[in-house]
Chain A
């Protein structure tokens, strides 16, 4: 079965509000996590990553939080914009396992004007 999953398949957010997208993983050996964004008609695009030795990492308008105790990952988007409408995937891997990324099914985020 899947080792990575997202809590909600869809999320509707008012423009300007903050978005929180959640992801649960089951492989306790995973030590690297990554968030991808996939807009309609495009391939997945890297947003931000985090290693298991960190709890939080910030990028431009995005923050990833990692809770290893409960094996939970979240992506926070500040001041959500229409251009943030997309499908968001989390993925995890064991860094010793080279290339094998395991992806979740994705959360579709729709931004309301």
Chain B
């Protein structure tokens, strides 16, 4: 595997379910990001981790809970989501926080029923 991978690619869940999104980067980067991409809206930054420490929590509701166990892996734990949370969730990584270019994974298409 190369680059940034995300699993699952598609997820359908009910509002009472608990699920997790996984991201893995194979680039040796130190910073990882979660973005939300909704239809016809700009990418919204959700969380940022640098060297496994969270440096940004962009006013995201607590029903989204990130976890970064090491610099290669990033999770987004989901519970009691709302239908408006349906979106494409993108993971990205960069060499470090001060590096401009972010490399994106293919995303997880989430549908909340």
Interface residues of A (CB under 8 A from B): 2, 4, 9, 32, 34, 36, 41-46, 49, 89, 93, 95, 98-106
Contacts and interface: CB of A to CB of B under 8 A. Distances in A.
Contact of B100 (A9, A43, A93): A93
A49 B4 contact: no
Contacts, number: 53
What class of interface size applies to chain B in its complex with A?
A: 20 to 34
A80 B101 CA distance: 25
A93 B43 CA distance: 14
Interface in B44-82: 45, 48, 55-56
A105 B41 contact: yes
B42 A43 contact: no
Given A44-B90, A99-B31, A34 B45 contact: no
